[in-house]
Amino acid sequence: MFSHGGFVQLVVKRIYELTRTEPRRYTLGLFTMGNSCSNLGIPPAKGPNAVGCTDFMMDHTAQGSFFRLYYPCQETEKAEKPDWVPCREYFNGLADFMKINRTLSERIFNHLFGSFKIPAYLDAPFKSNGKCPVVIFSHGLGAFRTLYSAICAEMASQGFIVASVEHRDQSASATYYFNDSLVKEWMYYRALQHGESEFPLRNKQVKQRADECILALDKLTEINSGRAVQNALQTKFDWTTLENSMDLCRIAAMGHSFGGATVIEALCKEVKFKCGIALDAWMFPLDDETFPRVKQPIFFINSEKFQWAGNISRMKKLESAIIQRKMITIRGTVHQSFPDFTFLTGNWIGKLMKLKGEIDPHIAIDLSNKATLAFLQRHLGLEKDFNQWDALIDGQDENLIQGTNVTVLQSAI
């Protein structure tokens, strides 16, 4: 499960086991070594724009759309940065996902991660500076909408509007909606039942996830048109300022792990997505017949330690002599080099929990973001300077591998 993108699973599980077996030694030791480093924190975005964020839920039911929106914002002294983990129920969801005690795991998570903030200003006014291209982002297994803020904020700082979807297919560790009485209802991760085959569940989920990405795009389209929208959440953000703010001819899908598979499924279902960025994609949930139906360019950005021959062979089924399909691997990275967790633990704990690889996580995410921006400029037709990083698309950097480090027999493709 962890290798399939449930990257949060190992974090609590390892600490929980250590605190149970040697509580006096490890509870204090892990806490002090975990977050005592002053340089820990989600890195600020590097683009020319300040970044705002807000949450959107429309409609209020489980069938509605729920996402965290990142956007270029006006500089403001009043706006605050939101908590990285929005509320304690998400800690509880992670505990249930792990099948461990909620009280102890909540204390561990809150101590290690509870003080961190998203690198964006909550409900800050939108800054209009021409029409923004759009990215729809899909999270991995066991994650939720806020855990990829370093990536999403960087895209927004570079002029994109980014909707980070929180999926309601029971692949998120926790999410919520409102019932008919407008009372909050929590939905938690659905584990495989004893003896249950995994593919039917994951295949059903990836199809729902793609539909949720498309629904998020539909809602952004409504907002862009100036149509009045009803946000089920009480935010201070003025949605009317987004009228005519988006370039809906320049839309991309992006995601990590299970979210990478979601990108492929979404491209297959919706041609409005002009290209896709798949970060360390987990290809298992996809039908084989999906591959030949995808007509858009795709960029696979992989970690060095996660991929295996069977997974790479499924990526290679998307190779085309006509449509650009690119793949690079970042040296020294692990599967968790893409979510924010990699920035929030000290070196020792990060490597123990496999949240950090051998490479500096800031260098790794910088390479991933720059390569992504170059690919988006190329295939969305952007008039930016992201083409200065075109060489990264072909793996031309000492920390990159062109293609994959995994040996794949031709007969397996």
Would you name the residues annotated as active-site residues? 257, 280, 335
In sequence order, the 6+-apart residues with CB closer than 8 A to the CB of 16 are: 98, 100, 101, 104, 105, 108
The residues with which 400 forms a beta bridge, in sequence order, are 330
Residue 250: both structure tokens together: 């320049």
Helices (H), 51-197: 88-98, 102-113, 149-157
Q: Which two tokens stand for residue 279?
A: 């970060």
To the nearest 10°, report the CA torsion of 82, 84, 88, 94: 160
Token digits of residue 282: 């987990």
Which ranges constitute the DSSP H helices of 4-137? 8-21, 23-35, 88-98, 102-113
d(CA 254, CA 257): 10
Centre a 10 Å sphere on the Cβ of residue 306 and count the other Cβ atoms it contains: 25
Eight-state DSSP code of residue 81: P
Q: What distance in Å separates the CA atoms of residue 368 and residue 391, rounded to the nearest whole number?
A: 12
Q: Where are the alpha helices (DSSP H) in 114-161?
A: 149-157
Q: Is the C-alpha dihedral spanning 127, 167, 147, 276 positive or negative? A: negative
* Beta partners for residue 71, in sequence order: 52
Q: CA 264 to CA 5: how far, in whole Å? A: 16
CA distance 172 to 169: 7
DSSP state of 131: P
SS (H, E, C) 169-220: CCCCCEEEEECCCCCEEEEECCCCCCCCCHHHHHHHHHHHHHHHHHHHHHHH
With H, G, I as helix, E, B as strand and everything else as coil, classify residue 260: helix
Residue 108's closest CA among 127, 92, 87? Answer: 92
